[in-house]
Amino acid sequence: MSQRNQELFERAQLRIPAGVNSPVRAFRAVGGAPPFMERASGANVWDAEGRRYIDYLGSWGPMVAGHTHPAVVEAVQAAAAKALSFGAPTESEIVLAEAICRLVPSIERVRLVSSGTEATMTAIRLARGFTGRSLIVKFEGCYHGHADSLLVKAGSGALTFGNPSSAGVPPQTAAHTLVLDFNDTAQVEKTFAARGGEIAGVIVEPVAGNMNLVLPKPGFLEALRVQCTKHGAVLILDEVMTGFRVALGGAQARFGIRPDLTTLGKVIGGGLPVGAVGGRRDIMEKIAPLGPVYQAGTLSGNPVAVAAGLATLKLVEAPGFQDRIEATTKALVEGLAAEAKKAGVVFSAQSIGSMFGVYFRATPPTSFPEVMQCDKDRFNRFFHAMLERGVYLAPSAYEAGFVSAAHGAAEIDETLKAAAEAFRLA
């Protein structure tokens, strides 16, 4: 039997910290060595040993149309044949900006960047520059990239300052971030009553996807909008993950919330590195060179990445695309719940759009503490049993999953067959 994946992992660790270029890829949350991927097509990926997996990771979200979609590949090849990068304006950047503003009406102006982290970092800076205030509110369990001010965990109470959750983040930086409980409307109202005049902005994943999938309770997002409006703070919806996945216009369209700023990524790059921050014209015109809030990037608006994004958005906005992919995702989670019930396993699952969550818990969680009640060890066993049967899930009990338009009845049936066996082993 081939040991190619193990060999590559050992080789990688000689030159790359932990052998990976993003922490969760190391499989430390679930144990074992990760498969090293070589190619992908549609709903499938193949590793260095030639094993095929039905992929529910989707490169952590971007591959909404499926891997190597012919239209996206053709667009990338055509763009690359002209230039890999200019560091100068291109018409394609305008076309992508126009598409984003058309599909997400709250975005009146948009700045392209190269990653979701850049987008959220810029949004935070804009909120502070626009309001002249320092405090930022975020929610425990929501991840917004690895900028210093966002790598903060909760302190000893709702109104206390946060503490760094990563080495290298100075306490002075963390002191400007307040961490509240996701879905706790009363806590939000209490915090704004006490410190509303100091709060520059609130940043939130409208549907949390980085503590597994956690949906907003009715009224929670609405309360954020009300409090930000009342106290002059900037509401930032981090739609890097949800953008064009939970609805064509993002979570804000699905829930009827109009943010002041929105951050995007993943889908708008079609698998290549792209991010964006956009929103109200008066806020966006504070960004350099129009205003005093500085942001720049050598590869921002890269023509090859923009081409991939434009081709993907064209597919995503085709009639029926969102309905089909949402129905497929719903069939997956309902099937998984049914198989778990047959096996007598405590389990629940839910989905929204083409995102889904699986939990070894009787009911889907609504907060970070409830997420932590899930049976992590059982998930790990289930994960490896599924991997052995050719189904690739996110290698962590605390990450959402993704379905693509390339997933169909055959892939769902194969997945559920594998799950029937995996649940018995878990």
Q: Which two tokens stand for residue 211?
A: 């503590």
Q: Which two tokens stand for residue 137?
A: 């509110």
| pLDDT value of residue 152 | 77
Query: What would the mean pLDDT of 51-55 be, rounded to a whole number?
Result: 98
Over 70: is that where the pLDDT of 356 sits? Answer: yes
Query: What would the mean pLDDT of 255-264 be, rounded to a whole number?
Result: 98
Q: How far apart are CA 376 and CA 202, in angstroms?
A: 30
Query: What would the mean pLDDT of 319-332 be, rounded to a whole number?
Result: 98
Q: How far apart are CA 393 and CA 60, in angstroms?
A: 10
- The amino acid at residue 175 is A
Residues with a catalytic annotation lie at 143, 238, 266
- The amino acid at residue 30 is V
At 151, is the pLDDT very low, low, confident or very high (cuts 50, 70, 90)? confident
Domains in the chain: boundaries: 4-68+319-425, 70-316
The SS3 assignment for 357 reads: strand
| pLDDT value of residue 175 | 83
Over 90: is that where the pLDDT of 174 sits? Answer: no
What residues does 44 pair with on adjacent strands?
41, 54
| pLDDT value of residue 159 | 33
At 171, is the pLDDT very low, low, confident or very high (cuts 50, 70, 90)? confident
**Mean model confidence pLDDT for the chain:** 94
CATH architecture of 70-316: 3-Layer(aba) Sandwich (3.40)
Global confidence as pTM: 0.95
- Fold matches, 4-68+319-425 and 70-316: no
Give the residue among 297, 272, 352 at the shortest CA–CA distance from 62. Answer: 272
Q: Which two tokens stand for residue 276?
A: 């964006």
Over 60: is that where the pLDDT of 327 sits? Answer: yes
The proportion of the chain whose per-residue pLDDT surpasses 70, expressed as a percent, equals 96
Over 50: is that where the pLDDT of 70 sits? Answer: yes
Q: How far apart are CA 426 and CA 421, in angstroms?
A: 9
Q: What dotted CATH number matches 4-68+319-425?
A: 3.90.1150.10
Over 90: is that where the pLDDT of 195 sits? Answer: yes
Structural contact between residues 251 and 242, judged by C-beta atoms closer than 8 angstroms? yes
The proportion of the chain whose per-residue pLDDT surpasses 90, expressed as a percent, equals 90
At 155, is the pLDDT very low, low, confident or very high (cuts 50, 70, 90)? very low
Over 80: is that where the pLDDT of 363 sits? Answer: yes
At 165, is the pLDDT very low, low, confident or very high (cuts 50, 70, 90)? low
Query: What would the mean pLDDT of 373-382 be, rounded to a whole number?
Result: 96
Over 70: is that where the pLDDT of 17 sits? Answer: yes
Query: What would the mean pLDDT of 362-377 be, rounded to a whole number?
Result: 95
| pLDDT value of residue 160 | 35
The SS3 assignment for 78 reads: helix
Query: What would the mean pLDDT of 334-340 be, rounded to a whole number?
Result: 98
Structural contact between residues 44 and 53, judged by C-beta atoms closer than 8 angstroms? yes
* pLDDT tens digits, 175-192: 899 999 999 999 999 999
